A = this chain, B = another copy of it.
Amino acid sequence: MNFAPTPRTTSLRSPEKLRYDKATAYDVLDAAHICHLGYVHDGTPRVLPTAYARIDDRLYFHGSTGSRAFLSARDEGVEVCATVTIEDGIVFARSWFHHSVNYRCVMAHGRARLVQDPDRRLQALAAMIDTLADGRSADSRPPSAKELAQTAVLELALTEVSVKVRRGGPNDDAEDLSLPHWAGHLPLATVAGEPVPDTGIGVRPPPYLP
């Protein structure tokens, strides 16, 4: 299944890196848990790192009911661009020009709306907890009514979505291949360290932590 390209999801350049298949997009969205949420406030752009989770063809964000992004979504929703980027490496080419970064990036555009349905809100919040560690929502206290009242949940239908992927080594120009500079790529990965227990907590972490 593919997303239908739109003017916002097509590129004036590097169209070869652009993809529209849901499988790749959802793999990237499910591998991260922070997106950069862009919205317009007073005519100027804001980009906020934000927790999110995907449920089927929808993306959920949460925030304080008092934050600007969520306040401005109260009535008719808010136009957003949610970008999730996973950096996979650095590409060293013989020329400055062809230096690059290996990455996977999903951009989702559309109007995010406040979720009002209590069951849906709870489901979205559970998904956000489970995005941090699979199974964690069942092993922690669900929100009280007071906490829920302070929490806004935004929903974005995943309809206008593009994926960009860059992998592998440098694409140097043929005439540069004999230059004496090292070329290749340096893989990067995010790794978890040892869990640090809170005061009064046993050292042994739950099985859903690495």
Contacts and interface: CB of A to CB of B under 8 A. Distances in A.
A191 interface: yes
A45 B79 contact: yes
Interface in A75-120: 79-83, 85, 87, 89-90, 92-97, 99, 101, 103, 105, 107, 109
Contacts of A194: 187
B79 A44 contact: yes
Nearest to A87: B34
A43 B33 CA distance: 27
Contacts of A93: 140
A96 B184 contact: no
Interface string A58-90: 000000101110010000000111110101011
A94 B132 contact: no
- Each complex incorporates copies of this chain amounting to 2
Contact of A85 (B36, B170, B198): B36
A192 interface: yes
B81 A45 contact: yes
The 8 A-B pairs at the shortest CB distance, nearest first, are namely A187-B193, A38-B47, A38-B45, A36-B36, A47-B83, A184-B197, A183-B198, A95-B141
Interface of A: 8, 11-14, 33-34, 36-40, 43-49, 51, 64, 66-68, 71, 79-83, 85, 87, 89-90, 92-97, 99, 101, 103, 105, 107, 109, 125-126, 128-129, 132-133, 136-137, 139-144, 147, 151, 169-170, 172, 176-177, 179, 181-202, 205-206, 209-210
